[in-house]
Structure 1
Amino acid sequence: MYTVAVSFTVPAERRAEFVAAALEDGRRSLADEPGTRAFDLIADAEDPDRFYLYEAYDDEAAFEAHCAGEHFARFFAAVSDWAEGPTWLVRGTRVPDPVAG
């Protein structure tokens, strides 16, 4: 499984707009993109203007397909003029534990 995590910092007056755009991107990606497995929006516990996206895909190709898709484009069109990010935090392949299964 290929996973990514990014952070965004948004102006306080645009928080609701960012949340709506990110959640819409996640819902549509999970519904329309077969390789998308998880799409979570996380609000920072200490900074109300910082958000994290955690996403999981079948493989890197599925992630690249997401990046080339309409939901990704719509999200960035909505937030790119005022959101700072994405700042990459994690980008890689999950290492499964062969003992745990």
Structure 2
Amino acid sequence: MITVTGTFTVKKNKIEEFQTGTLELQNASLNTDKGCIEYKFHQQQDAPENFFVYEIWDEMASLELHGASQHFNKFSKLLEGNLDKELDIRIYNTI
């Protein structure tokens, strides 16, 4: 299995738009992407501009297909110019 984590710091005037985008991506990934086991976004309580994503995939091939999906590409466009810090994505293999 493959685990993906990511942190996002969104511009404060884009938080609501980002929330909507995360839910769209999360739901589309869980409902349509083969091999998607878990896909959850989280928002920091005391700093609502900070988000965290946690994903589990059955294999790297599934994650790669997700990266080419329409819903992932739509979300990627949402990130352009709307982050205050560089995106930090990490990919792990289950031991």
Flag whether TM exceeds 0.5 (same fold): yes
User: What's the CA shift string for 1:14-71, capped at 9, x where partnerless?
Assistant: 1111011011001011111111111111112442211011111111111111111111
The number of residue pairs the alignment matches comes to 94
Q: Matches of 2:60 and 2:17 in 1, distance apart?
A: 29
Matched with 1:43 is 43
Matched with 2:56 is 56
Matched with 1:9 is 9
Which structure 2 residue ranges, 5 or more long, are not aligned? none
Q: Matches of 1:17 and 1:85 in 2, distance apart?
A: 18
Larger radius of gyration: 1
Q: Matches of 1:65 and 1:74 in 2, distance apart?
A: 14
2:87 partner SS: strand
User: Identical aligned pairs, as a percentage?
Assistant: 27
- Aligned-residue CA RMSD (Å): 1.4
Matched with 2:27 is 27
Residue 30 and residue 2 in structure 1: after superposition, are their counterparts in 2 closer, same or farther (change >3 A)? same
The TM-score, its normalising length taken from structure 1, stands at 0.84
Which structure 1 residue ranges, 5 or more long, are not aligned? 96-101
Regions of 4+ moved over 6 Å: none
